[in-house]
Amino acid sequence: MRPEALSDVVKTTSTTGVTRQQTKAAVKNAFADAWQAKEKGNKICYTYVLGPIELLRSFDMYLIFPEIGAANMAAKKTSLPYIQKAEDYGYASDTCSYVTADVGLYLSDMNHPFGKVPKPDLVLNDTLCNTYYKWSEITQDFFSCPIFTLDHPVRMARKEYPYDLEALYQEDKRYVVDQLKRLIAACEELTGKSFDLDKFRNNLDLANRMGALWCEIIDKTRHRPSPFDAVLEGYNYMGGATTLKGTEAGIAYLSAIKADLDQRIAEGKGAVPEERFRLLWMSAPCYPYFRRIPEMFHRSGAVFVYTPQFMQPTRGTYRAQQYDLSRPLESYAECLMDYFHARNPRRPPQWSMGWVGGGGEIDNQIELLHHFSADGIVYHAIKSCRMNSASLADFREHVSRRGVPILMLESDIADPRFFSEAQIRNRIEAFMEGLVEKKLSRVAAVG
């Protein structure tokens, strides 16, 4: 959506419910806005949600996020025909369903449920997910567009690590800065525009302000009752925050969310009518049944107060990411690296599912439980995403040894064929009965 159009929504709508209207408007108008940008001569870049958004925006590129497009298909319950078209073309059913939904879009003359999608002038690949490599190549095969790959060095902290992590970090940073300079040169050649350092610095300043707002929003779920559900509403917030990163419209969007949540807190309104339990949701949601699963928990008075996907708008850190505007490229490289790079501690813990090196995998999750006063964890194993799901069984075993109630659910991010409502409902009901029993036992022990 055009930043100025989204700002108009903020100005003309009351605070209550404004974020819902903004998100719907952004989804509805995204591809129409892309065509308008293309008609003005702006280039279209396909990039992933943790890509170098602020740098690409400094060249006035219109950014399209394939993951978000595929998730929107699934949430609209229209993803299956696209996935089946890709399977008929030769893709296996266990391929990432984001990819097969996107391939189905390519095979459907780019007709998305929300409008016709313009073809890319550039694909920005990054190495934060191994699927991105092939996904980018697929896009290039279909559209003969250039690819630029931004490589993120991965260093996992281990006590027995035989090297000087700080020296490696500085070497890796120089490597990333060099890549950014090559990306700038490629964008200059593609767009015919010279790199505007001041514009880039302004984008980083806006991203800093958005990061601070985003972390304030995340912390709102620490209130009892939680003013929003981290899955049902949080993923919508996150989508808007990601796609509008580094823009004035992004500031307006998150400010409206914050005001809306502050009002709910002041009025004592919770995400569920009577909050009894607080849970963490680990992994992406099942978008084809996006509302169905959280609502099953809501019936038992349970609300989700955190998901590690909240890292995306701040690139891997729970705490606000801040770029140093006095050295924009170097600071930008550091923030890009922080998602998967560990060195001697220099910032607050990076709370996630254990993918980053800010702390031990299990300790990170226990810390999250305490920080958000949560009663248990729900792991969502995704059929078509092995990288995201491979470690969940181990996490379940080790975290449960700490006395944490754990529930494992299985479905998929975009393919509705891997969802079994009866099975999921039975597991949720049994899990919630266990939580009730545990809480009654605690009350009895205190009494």
49-87: pLDDT as tens digits? 888 999 999 999 999 999 999 999 999 999 999 999 999
Identify the pLDDT of residue 345: 44
Chain-centroid distance, C-alpha 168: 28
Q: Look at residue 409 and tell me whether its pLDDT is greater than 80.
A: yes
Q: H/E element holding 368?
A: helix 361-371
Beta pairing class for 115-116 and 111-112: antiparallel
Counting the structural domains of the chain, the total is: 1
Residues 243/247/249/253 CA torsion (nearest 10 deg): 60
User: ω into residue 66 within 30 of 0, thus cis?
Assistant: no
Identify the pLDDT of residue 381: 93
Identify the pLDDT of residue 320: 55
Identify the pLDDT of residue 394: 86
pLDDT, tens digit (0-9, with 9 covering 90-100), for 214-241:
989 999 999 999 999 999 999 989 888 8
Give the Cβ contact number of residue 4 at 10 Å: 10
Identify the pLDDT of residue 178: 98
Identify the pLDDT of residue 6: 40
**Cα-based angle 292, 297, 301 (whole degrees, multiple of 5):** 135
- Label residue 156 by pLDDT band (50, 70, 90): low
Identify the pLDDT of residue 419: 95
Amino acid (1-letter code) at residue 269: K
Identify the pLDDT of residue 166: 79
Q: How far apart are CA 207 and CA 222, in angstroms?
A: 24
Residues 283/285/286/287 CA torsion (nearest 10 deg): -140
CA distances from 137 to 125, 131, 134, 140, 286 (A): 9, 10, 5, 5, 26
Q: Output the DSSP codes for 230-252.
A: TTTTHHHHHHHHHHTTTSHHHHH
Length of the chain: 447
**Cα-based angle 93, 146, 333 (whole degrees, multiple of 5):** 95
Q: How far apart are CA 97 and CA 107, in angstroms?
A: 15
Q: Are 424 and 295 in contact (CB under 8 A)?
A: no
Its domain, for residue 236, covers: 3-446
Residue with tokens 């107060």: 305
Lowest-confidence segment of 197-201, 225-229, 381-385 by average pLDDT: 381-385
Local structure of 229: helix, strand or coil: coil
